[in-house]
């Protein structure tokens, strides 16, 4: 009978040791999982934080541009702006004023001047398509 009790205790002690090892292993796996999850969450948080900063900077730039556009809209309704646009775009003038328009030189004269400035060798190579 004593032998049976010893065998039962040995079997029982092995079961408790295995169960304890299993619990410890499970505990370390849970801790490892929590650490990895926390690390991933922190990485995602830092990425989102930098994205928020970038978006806030973009909002500031867009708000500034919006204010400039609003100022431009209010300026277009003024008499001086309308007068300036009429003078520049439409070529209108006030009574008693003269409009002077400066035209660019014709294209042919530019080409002739460029040909005259080139040397004989350059013109020869150009005709041969080397230059």
| One domain, residues 71 and 12 | yes
Q: Same domain for 9 and 43?
A: yes
Residue 122: other Cβ atoms inside 10 A = 13
Same domain, 91 and 127: no
Confidence of residue 61 (pLDDT cuts 50, 70, 90): very high
Is residue 96 located within the same domain as residue 126?
no
- In this predicted model, what pLDDT tens digit does every residue of 76-130 receive, in sequence order? 777 888 788 877 777 777 788 877 777 877 666 555 556 566 777 777 777 777 5
Residue partners of 99: CB distance under 8 A and separation at least 6:
91, 93
Same domain, 36 and 84: yes
Q: Which domain holds residue 56?
A: 2-100
Which of the four pLDDT bands, split at 50, 70 and 90, describes residue 34? very high
Q: Are residues 129 and 86 in the same domain?
A: no
Based on the fold, state whether residues 87 and 61 are members of the same structural domain: yes
Domain count within the chain = 2
Residues 92 and 120 in one domain: no
Q: How far apart are CA 42 and CA 38, in angstroms?
A: 6
Least confidently predicted of 19-23, 60-64, 100-104: 100-104
Same domain for 95 and 109, yes or no, is no
Q: Residue 42: name the closest of 30, 32, 54, 34 by CA.
A: 34
47 and 67 assigned to the same domain: yes
Buried b (16+ CB within 10 A) or exposed e, 22-58: eeeeeeeeeeeeeeeeeeeeeeeeeeeeeeeeeeeee
Q: Are 87 and 93 in contact (CB under 8 A)?
A: yes
Are 93 and 113 in the same domain?
no
> Are 33 and 67 in a shared domain?
yes
Q: Is the pTM of this model over 0.75?
A: no
């Amino acid at each position: 009978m004593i032998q049976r009790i010893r065998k039962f205790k040995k079997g029982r002690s092995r079961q408790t040791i295995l169960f304890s090892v299993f619990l410890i292993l499970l505990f370390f796996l849970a801790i490892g999982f929590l650490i990895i999850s926390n690390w991933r969450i922190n990485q995602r948080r830092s990425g989102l934080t930098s994205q928020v900063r970038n978006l806030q900077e973009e909002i500031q730039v867009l708000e500034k541009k919006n204010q400039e556009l609003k100022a431009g809209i209010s300026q277009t309704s003024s008499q001086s702006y309308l007068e300036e646009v009429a003078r520049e775009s439409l070529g209108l003038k006030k009574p008693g004023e003269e409009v002077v328009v400066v035209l660019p030189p014709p294209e042919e004269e530019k080409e002739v001047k460029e040909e005259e400035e080139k040397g004989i060798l350059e013109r020869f190579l150009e005709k041969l398509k080397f230059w």
